[in-house]
Amino acid sequence: MSSFQLVTKYQPSGDQPKAIEELVAGLHQAERDQVLLGVTGSGKTFTISNVIAQTGRPTLVISPNKTLAAQLYGEFRSFFPENAVEFFISYYDYYQPEAYVPTTDVYIEKDFSINDEIDRLRLRATSALVEGRRDVIVVASVSCIYGIGAKEDFKDQLLVIREGQTVTRQQLLHRLNDIHYSRNDFEFGRGTFRVRGDVVDILPAYEDKKAIRVEFFGDEIDRVSLIHPLDGTLIERVGHVLLYPARLFVTSQSNLARAITDIKDELVDRLKELRDLGKYLEAQRLEQRTLFDIEMMKEVGYCSGIENYSMHLSGRKPGDKPNCLIDYFPDDFLLVIDESHVTIPQIRGMYNGDRQRKLTLVEHGFRLPSALENRPLKFDEFEQQVHQAIYVSATPGDYELQRTMGVVVEQVIRPTGLLDPRIEIRPVRNQIDDLVGEIRTRAEKGERILVTTLTKRMAEDLTDYLHNLHIRTAYIHSDVSALERVDIIRNLRLGNFDVLVGVNLLREGLDMPEVTLVAILDADKEGFLRSERSLMQTAGR
């Protein structure tokens, strides 16, 4: 019996019942690959929700961008409020990877800004999977194929706290430090603990509404409760809790000691190699940087850029597949690749782009060769991880169609009965004046408008121009943070503004039924990701 509870007032209609039946039958018949070809607005997410509810398997949904992932996360949470629907995307609001430009001798240090809320959601996702729950849906971006800590290491660092347990307060504090919780008696934030006499309060890294209070009587835990983190009022006495580590990269002290020995051995070999080649500057640079990192790991169990030593920390050999989110799922998990015509090429291209940048760092003594093993999955490794997959798209790519030998599950008739939009081609001359007239006409009726431009700069300039004409407008592109994008789209749907201008984020999967006009500026010019498929996706909004 399925552990998923689908909560909805709607019944499958149009082509949905047939699509659900065919997809479920295919999964039961152990078909490895299936394609759901559904036109825009046909309710593909609702169809997949019914398939998940009927098959009852832990499911990973991979989306091509953060905006669409956030929308899918919201939809699945509304369909499965009683189950573990989790969110796993890159937690960087801003990320400048470490790089070196040999031609100008410029080293660019890694710079980033981590979104605390997304970090919490990532830890919740891995914690739900480690817990062994079957009713888990994780909505992820393609960043889920990047290396994270090993599931076994994460599991080994779980901390059980129960009433009657014989442990001193000091031992508990040391154990919390081992799993990367930090003491802060003044600011009680996520991933911290505070101490007041015989009472220890812990705010798990994956929670924001429930903290854990541990009360001691001598060397024994007397009471374990859940409290509100803000005012400390009691929620309930639970008796025992299972506390997960505050970081995804965790390891034991014995593992860390072994890893440091391996890093030193690799350093000795690499320094000899560089000096034999006459690269004395590179050798000195590498030695200085690596020894500093080793000292940091010895002292605090962590260092900046520790992910570059992931091969040694996890005990892998060169060329071994890195650990990623997929390893946290059981073998019979279901993979759903949303907007597969975009997502599959992204997954395919991740490895080569990452490797090229790191090769330059290794050659010039900024990193050990093992840093190359801190990488996303190669495409063939990703394929080996997949047991059964459903590719969802209105415009499936060649790869998906080859995998299914051209056989697709069609979902063409929309439950709403809506027909495809009318497409008009208008002259480029005076296109902005033409656009302003169309916007005013629709805004008066309370309708919304999407405008796509060729570049981010054009999107911002057009927004400023429309503002000057007293038209309520906002723009959205990749420089806008993931959570802010969700707010912008929500505000458009609520009518807080009438026009949304973007580049390619206004394409795949975004559902905005209030929109009655999509204007594609400079449609005759080639641009990034402009193709026959992208035109269909944009028009579908």
200-245, pLDDT tens digit by residue?
A: 999 998 888 899 999 999 999 999 999 999 988 999 999 889 898 8
Distance CA 179, CA 42 (A): 46
Choice among 40-54, 89-103, 257-271, 337-351 with the minimum mean pLDDT: 89-103
- H or E segment to which residue 384 belongs: helix 379-385
In a domain, 266, yes or no: yes
Q: Give the pLDDT mean for 66-92.
A: 90
Distance CA 509, CA 319 (A): 36
Q: Could you tell me the pLDDT band of residue 540, with boundaries at 50, 70 and 90?
A: low
Residue 238 sits in the same domain as residue 259:
no
In a domain, 10, yes or no: no
Number of domains, the chain: 4
Q: Is the separation of the CB atoms in 115 and 482 below 8 Å?
A: yes
| 472: exposed, middle or buried (Cβ count in 10 Å: 0-12, 13-18, 19+) | middle
Residues 6+ apart with CB under 8 A from 494: none
In a domain, 165, yes or no: yes
Residue 247 or 35, more confident: 35
Using DSSP's 3-state secondary structure scheme, residue 391 falls into: strand
Distance CA 35, CA 399 (A): 11
140-175, pLDDT tens digit by residue?
A: 999 999 888 788 888 888 889 999 999 999 999 999
Q: Could you tell me the pLDDT band of residue 526, with boundaries at 50, 70 and 90?
A: low
Q: Is the separation of the CB atoms in 501 and 439 below 8 Å?
A: no
In a domain, 4, yes or no: no
Distance CA 211, CA 290 (A): 38
Angle at 338 between CA 332 and CA 339, to 5 degrees: 150
Residue 533 has pLDDT above 80, yes or no: no
The per-residue pLDDT for 344 is 94
Residue 119 sits in the same domain as residue 238:
no
Choice among 191-200, 215-224, 455-464, 518-527 with the minimum mean pLDDT: 518-527
In a domain, 424, yes or no: no
Domain edge (last residue) among 376, 411, 446:
411
Q: Is the separation of the CB atoms in 417 and 18 below 8 Å?
A: no
C-alpha 462: how far from chain center: 30
Residue 260 sits in the same domain as residue 340:
no
Residue 536 has pLDDT above 70, yes or no: no
- H or E segment to which residue 272 belongs: helix 253-276
* Both structure tokens of 235: 């929620």
The per-residue pLDDT for 223 is 94
The per-residue pLDDT for 198 is 93
Residue 25 sits in the same domain as residue 139:
yes
Domain, as residue range, for 302 = 253-306
Give the closest residue to 244 by CA, choosing from 156, 91, 127. Answer: 127
372-392, pLDDT tens digit by residue?
A: 998 999 999 999 999 999 999
The per-residue pLDDT for 530 is 55
- CATH number for the domain including 352? 3.40.50.300
Mean of all residue pLDDT scores within the chain: 87
Residue 531 has pLDDT above 80, yes or no: no
* Both structure tokens of 496: 């807080």
Choice among 255-259, 352-356, 419-423 with the minimum mean pLDDT: 419-423
- SS3 string of 84-105? EEEEECCCEEEEECCEEECCCC
Domain edge (last residue) among 356, 378, 411:
411
Residue 277 has pLDDT above 70, yes or no: yes
Residue 19 sits in the same domain as residue 143:
yes
Distance CA 388, CA 296 (A): 43
Residue 508 has pLDDT above 70, yes or no: no
Domain edge (last residue) among 352, 379, 411:
411
Name the maximum alpha-carbon separation found in the chain.
Answer: 82
* Both structure tokens of 290: 């690596």
Q: How many H helices and E strands in the chain?
A: 16, 23
Residue 165 sits in the same domain as residue 122:
no
The per-residue pLDDT for 170 is 93
Residue 69 sits in the same domain as residue 107:
yes
Distance CA 50, CA 6 (A): 7
Question: Could you tell me the end-to-end alpha-carbon distance of the chain, in angstroms, rounded to an integer?
Answer: 37
Give the closest residue to 179 by CA, choosing from 161, 165, 163. Answer: 161
Distance CA 343, CA 337 (A): 7
The per-residue pLDDT for 88 is 93
In a domain, 450, yes or no: yes
7-57, pLDDT tens digit by residue?
A: 998 898 888 999 999 999 999 999 999 999 987 777 899 999 999 999 999
Distance CA 443, CA 326 (A): 45
Q: What are phi and psi of 31, to 5 degrees?
A: -70, 130
Q: What are phi and psi of 387, to 5 degrees?
A: -100, -45
Residue 112 sits in the same domain as residue 204:
no
Residue 411 has pLDDT above 80, yes or no: yes
